Amino acid sequence: MTFATALQLLFHANPTFDLTPAQAQAWEGLLSDVPPDALYVAAIDLARTHKFKLTIADWRERALALTGEGKAFATVFAEGWAEVMRNRRIVAIQRYESRPEKRVQVTWSNDAVRLAAEAINFRGDWEGESLGTLRAQFRDALRGLQDKGAAIDGAKSALEFAPQVKALLERPMLRRVEDHR
């Protein structure tokens, strides 16, 4: 894939998307650090989902989100959003079911997805709410929870390592080195 192929896809998918040749050349230069295949995949995704005037930042963000570490998050986010929608349907179907034996429990793949879904009130009435806005709020909540989880894991790892450091400092050879300072 080339940048030109990806840009052409965006032109064909969105008739209001328009760039002069000089602007297209500037876009190519500013996106030259992003792999062309990633730009193409992002162009497909943007053509399907993007509603407003496309910017270089939008395209770069989407391309980077769909590759490498961002790809892993994009997958977790997509699967998590599918869980939110599935569980909303379950809740809606059972809204008036009073018999406990007939109720189906909502399930989540992990706590981060559950907490992000609760943050956007997945059980609530979304009347008048933009689905795109709710989806973005879910994505941001999920990313924040994953970042906190990574920080907590790092802190736990440091705490597990601390006794080993203390044991090293108590070794006789290190004490002699400190005595000579």
First to last CA, the chain: 62
Full-model pTM: 0.50
| Residue 87 predicted with pLDDT over 90 | yes
Taking CA 116 as the corner, what is the angle to CA 112 and CA 143, rounded to the nearest 5 degrees? Answer: 70
Under 8 Å between Cβ of 103 and 41: no
State which amino acid sits at residue 123. Answer: R
Instruction: Read off the DSSP letter of residue 103.
Output: P
Q: Which residue do the tokens 């736990």 mark? A: 156
Q: What is the average per-residue pLDDT within 114-118?
A: 93
Reported confidence tier of residue 138, pLDDT bands at 50, 70, 90 = very high
